[in-house]
Amino acid sequence: MIDESAVLTCAELGFERLEALFAPYGLGIGRVPDGAPIPGSWFGEREAGLIGGRLLLRGDTPVHSALHEGCHWLCLDGARRAGLHTDAGGDDLEECAVCYLQLLLAPKLPGFGLARALADLDAWGYSFRLGSAQAWFEQDADDARDWLIRHGLIDAGGRLTGRRRE
Per the CB < 8 A criterion, the answer to whether 46 and 62 are in contact is yes
Parallel, antiparallel, or unpaired for β 54-57 and 49-51?
antiparallel
**Residue 25, domain member (yes or no):** yes
Quick one: what percent of the chain has pLDDT higher than 90?
A: 84
| Domain with 136 in it | 4-150
pLDDT at site 44: 83
In angstroms, the CA 125 to CA 18 distance is: 23
Residue 157 lies in a domain: no
Question: How do 28-31 and 54-57 pair as beta strands?
Answer: parallel
Residue 44 lies in a domain: yes
pLDDT, tens digit (0-9, with 9 covering 90-100), for 79-132: 999 999 998 988 999 999 999 999 999 999 999 999 999 999 998 877 777 789
- What's the pLDDT score for residue 43? 84
Q: For the chain, what is the domain count?
A: 1
166 domain-assigned: no
**Residue 165 counted as domain residue:** no
Question: Could you report the per-residue pLDDT of 18-54, keeping only the tens digit for each?
Answer: 999 999 999 999 999 999 999 999 888 899 999 999 9
**163 belongs to a structural domain:** no
Residue at 112 is within a domain = yes
